[in-house]
Amino acid sequence: MQQLDVSEADYGGYLIHPCLKKILVGLEDRLYYHMGEVILSSVKSCRSRRKCTNSYEQKSDGVFTVKLRKSLMEVGHLEMSGGYGHKDIPRSTWDGCCKLPIGNSYMLEEIGEQFRGGSPETFSKLRVFSLHTYEDRIELWQMHNPSCGVLQYERSHKSIVPICYEEHRKHIFDFVVLLWDLKCGLLETSNTIFQLRDEHNDNLFESSKLSGSLPAYPFTPNKDRHKIGIKDANEDSDLDNSPIRSGRNDKKYFES
């Protein structure tokens, strides 16, 4: 590993995936990390729910999930833009500016749809995460819905990935802090999801309290178009398909 241009498979298999699995030791009863290429179920579920006609599925290089009684809820994902030391700006742009935030947006939508009876106050505390590796760096990003109709996406950490103690020992602290804060964030997110679930189950009126919480649907990314750089993210969206996005408070939809 102590060399540049290590393949993405080796970089992930020997360093990135083991680190991400290690931070969840002791939390296996509530959190799980699926390493390797995974199709995001939240994207598939949300697009199926609103009957999208155009075909799109999103794959990630790793996915964090919260364990519920009968299902798993996606709360974070990883994108690796090549092996260690590999520089590919168009690919990094595609992964970091398109796939990661759009995947997080769908995760929030899926959680909101599953627990529509939860309170907006609790939902506003919910954070989902994304990790991006490119060249010799790793970044941690977070997305949440601080107020109605607003999505906030922010980078909380950035570090060089230390693969050689002699050369990178000054970067070890930043790398460990990134992993530690990711662990704490995932644990807090799992607690928030459990709270949303309880609020949803206690919703005696069977009405959606999260109507209109999220902004319009994210645009459907086109790899050929956006991999060379994002020029226009203001694609047209249909606002009348999902209760938590459209503001519709429909008991029939809620019970479906």
Interval 171-181: pLDDT, tens: 999 999 999 99
Q: What is the pLDDT of residue 220?
A: 67
Structure tokens at 223: 């790899």
Mean pLDDT of 56-69: 94
Answer whether residue 255 shows pLDDT above 80. no
Q: State how far the Cα of 186 lies from the Cα of 180, in Å rounded to an integer.
A: 10
Q: What share of the chain is helix, strand, coil (3-state, %, to 5)?
A: 40, 20, 40
Q: State how far the Cα of 195 lies from the Cα of 189, in Å rounded to an integer.
A: 10
Structure tokens at 140: 């941690």
Structural domain boundaries of the chain? 8-255
Q: State how far the Cα of 131 lies from the Cα of 194, in Å rounded to an integer.
A: 23
Q: How far apart are the two ends of the chain, measured CA to CA in Å? A: 51
Closest CA to 147 of 209, 194, 208, 215: 215
Query: Phi, psi (5° rounding) for residue 156?
Result: -100, -25
Mean pLDDT of 189-213: 85
Find the largest Cα–Cα distance for the chain: 62
The whole-model pTM stands at 0.83
C-alpha distances in angstroms, 158 versus 37, 97, 186? Answer: 23, 16, 18
C-alpha distances in angstroms, 213 versus 3, 106, 205? Answer: 47, 13, 19
pLDDT interval class at 232 (50, 70, 90): very low
Helix 41-49 and helix 100-114, axial crossing angle in degrees, nearest 10: 60
Question: What are residue 78's DSSP bridge partners?
Answer: 62, 131
Query: Phi, psi (5° rounding) for residue 170?
Result: -75, -15
Answer whether residue 193 shows pLDDT above 90. yes
pLDDT interval class at 217 (50, 70, 90): low
Mean pLDDT of 144-152: 90
pLDDT interval class at 208 (50, 70, 90): confident
pLDDT in tens, 97-147: 889 999 999 999 999 999 999 999 999 999 999 999 999 999 999 999 998
pLDDT interval class at 227 (50, 70, 90): low
C-alpha distances in angstroms, 244 versus 4, 62, 174? Answer: 46, 27, 37
Token pair 């799992």 in the structure block, residue: 190
Strand order in the sheet with 137-144: 31-39, 59-67, 72-81, 127-134, 137-144, 152-160
Answer whether residue 254 shows pLDDT above 80. no
Q: Is 55 exposed, middle or buried (0-12, 13-18, 19+ CB in 10 A)?
A: exposed
